[in-house]
Amino acid sequence: MVEVIVPELGESIREGTILRWLKQQGDEVQEGEILLELETDKVNLEIIAETAGVLQGVHKQAGATVAVGEVLAKIEAIDGQVRAATDDHKPASDAGGRTGPRTEPVQTPPESHPPAAAKSDAPHATEDRPLRPTPSMRRMARSAEGAPERQPVAPTASVASAAAPAPEKSTGAPAAASAPSEPQQRPAAPADGHRISAAMEPGRSDEKSVRMSRRRLTIARRLVEAQHTAAMLTTFNEVDMTAILDIRKRRRDRFREEHGVGLGFMSFFTKAVVSALRSFPALNAEIRGEDMILKQHYDIGIAVSTDKGLVVPVLREADRLSFAAIEGEIARLAQRARDDSLTLAELQGGTFTITNGGVFGSLLSTPILNAPQVGILGMHKIQERPIAVNGQVLIHPMMYLALSYDHRIVDGSEAVRFLVRVKELAEDPESLLLEG
């Protein structure tokens, strides 16, 4: 027997979630054939068969959380003989030593059956305290009986809920329940109070429970951790985008013809950030215990939004790249992110992050640190605004910039001067060419 185990998943990743099995118990598999897909905090991985044989002992189904080194199944090697394991007329032994006809496991969507790891949080009965059913247990019991029972549930609050968008308020009437043998009178209540009570009732037909993906759960956890562990502050400034827009207008077509990629804003701000980091190295550092690690390399994380959540692939050695190389590499990483084909190496080791909420229309925001980094620059929407120029009020294309930083090792004066330096370089983009 060859065990199928969860392999080492990379730096700081100790567990994953089974997305789906491509092979089922009793299937013959070939060496190198994909057995299942595993979702981790950062990327999805394929686990392959290390030998040819018959897949046996599958005991972790889709939706289950599994740890590095955990055995998922076993492969019984093919020896050229007709195998008892594949003979449907012969009983097979299960993990508990019992025998019986082999049956195919039923794949259940994660929405219906939570993974085994989540069940550890359920209450347990003791001699002193009997098991009390939770609201979710009561809902499942009522669903099984086919007779929903309405019981008001007190609303609860959660820290994690702050990281997720609030559900839309529903004003529809609750689903009809089976009528009892004798009608019961509802106590009179104001219309608004009735709607509030109805909105809190479990099992409504206009609600849908969707299990959060491991990536979404990890994003939520890391964002909350960043706010709890770092002394995070944000400073703001604005940049006049006139010069950059002028260069792009004059050079855009020729740039694309020569380099095969468009001239965007990210190359200008990446260059400006690298230059400012050289002048203020504390923003290109991280905290390890009681030490401050100052880094002399500039690996810039570029935040990319995908259907499965935000990922931050890393632009390696950005200080050594030309404008064209930066634009080409960002385009490549963004496409790989949207195709869900990034590798762990492409996501690890960034020293500073840039995020551009302006592509979605954001005018101003406070970005959250990408730990263990101590600085992140937020770009925003370019909007024409009246500004004073040499005593005259003129309309210029302006962009707000936001720098969030860890005040434990970055002083306020450093953060402000860093952001001013980025602003000055962006407003005089020719200086970036000279520095490059």
Active-site residue numbers?
Answer: 407, 411
In whole angstroms, how far apart are CA 106 and each of 60, 70, 213? Answer: 11, 21, 21
Name the helix (H) or strand (E) containing 413.
Answer: helix 412-427
Q: Is 268 helix (H, G, I), strand (E, B) or coil?
A: helix
Q: Which residue has the tokens 């979605």?
A: 360
Paired residues of 288 in beta bridges: 291
Contact 52, 35 (CB under 8 A): no
Q: Is 169 helix (H, G, I), strand (E, B) or coil?
A: coil
Give all strands (DSSP E) within 149-215, no chain letters. Answer: none
The secondary structure of residue 56, as a DSSP letter, is E
Q: Token pair of 343, please?
A: 């590798």
State the Cα–Cα distance between residues 79 and 83, nearest whole angstrom. Answer: 8
Residue type, 111: E
Q: Measuring CA to CA, which residue among 309, 400, 404, 393 is closest to residue 363?
A: 400
Q: Token pair of 294, please?
A: 């100052």
Q: Which residues contact 388 (CB under 8 A, 6 or more apart)?
A: 394
